[in-house]
Amino acid sequence: MKRVKSPPWSGVGLTLLLGACSLAPPLKTPGVPTADAYKEMGPWTRAEPADRLPRDSWWALYDSAELDELQKRLIDGNPTLAAALANYAQARALADQARAGLFPTLGLSAGVARNRDSLDRPLRLSTAPAYYDTNSLGGSVSYELDLWGQIRNEVAAGAANAAASAADLENARLSLIAQLVDDYISCAASTATVRFSTRLCRPILARSD
C-alpha cells in the first residue's frame, strides 16, 4: 500500500485555516416595520442613538450657582452613579483581559540564593568554600491559537458589554440630574409663589389692623 506524504507546511496551513474560522453566528439587526406615511407632517430626522456620550452641563442654562453646587454634590456622592461607574470599569477590564488573549504571553523569572555547606558533610574537601551563591534566570513564551474564533468572539462580546455599561452610566447620570433639576425648579416656583402671596396679602393685613 502506497503511503501518501503530506507537505511539511500542511500542518501550519491547517492551523491558520482553523484560526480563520468562527462558530459564532453573524449579528443581524432585526428589521423594524415602518409606515409609509404618518398623520404628523415632517420633515423627519433619522435617530442616531448616542447613549454613551456625556450630556455636558446643560443645567448651566439656568445660571444658578446653587444648582451647580447641588449637581456637583449629586455626582460626587450618589451611590447609584458609583455602582454604575464600578460596573463600567469592570466591563472595561474584562474587555481588556479578553483582548490580551490575542497576543503572546511572556514570562520571566529570576532567583538568587546563598547557601552554606555543612562542615561535617562527607567527602567535603578542606579547600571547598563554605558559602556559595546560586543564581537562576528563566523565561517563557506562550501563545494560544485562536481556533474557531473563540478569542475574537470574546473580544467582541467584551467590547459590546463595555459599551452597554457606558450607556447605562450616562443614562443613570442623566436621570438623576434631570430629577434634581425638576425638584429644584419646583422648589423655586413654590418659594416664588409664597413670596408673591405674602407681598399681596401684606397690605390687606395692614388695613385689617
121-155 residue pLDDT tens: 777 666 777 777 888 899 988 887 777 778 888 88
On whether the CB atoms of residues 83 and 91 are closer than 8 A, the answer is: no
Question: Where are the domains positioned within the chain?
Answer: 56-103+145-208
Entry field: residues in the chain: 209
Phi-psi region of 111 (alpha: psi -120 to 50; beta: other; left: phi over 0): beta
Mean pLDDT within 9-24: 55
Most confident of 10-24, 111-125, 166-180: 166-180
- For residue 87 the three cell numbers come to 460596573
- 64: DSSP letter: -
180: nearest Cα among 188, 191, 169: 188
On whether the CB atoms of residues 81 and 176 are closer than 8 A, the answer is: yes
57-69 residue pLDDT tens: 778 888 888 888 8
- Residue 19: pLDDT band by 50, 70, 90 thresholds? low
On whether the CB atoms of residues 95 and 173 are closer than 8 A, the answer is: no
One-letter amino acid at 206 equals A
Look at residue 77 in the predicted model and tell me its pLDDT: 82
The answer, yes or no, to whether residue 157 has pLDDT greater than 70, is yes
* Percentage of the residues of the chain whose pLDDT score is greater than 90: 4
How far apart (Å, rounded) are the C-alpha atoms in residues 125 and 109? 33
The answer, yes or no, to whether residue 110 has pLDDT greater than 80, is yes
More confident residue, 163 or 13: 163
Look at residue 18 in the predicted model and tell me its pLDDT: 52
Q: Whole-prediction pTM value?
A: 0.57
What three-state secondary structure class fits 142? strand
How far apart (Å, rounded) are the C-alpha atoms in residues 88 and 164? 8
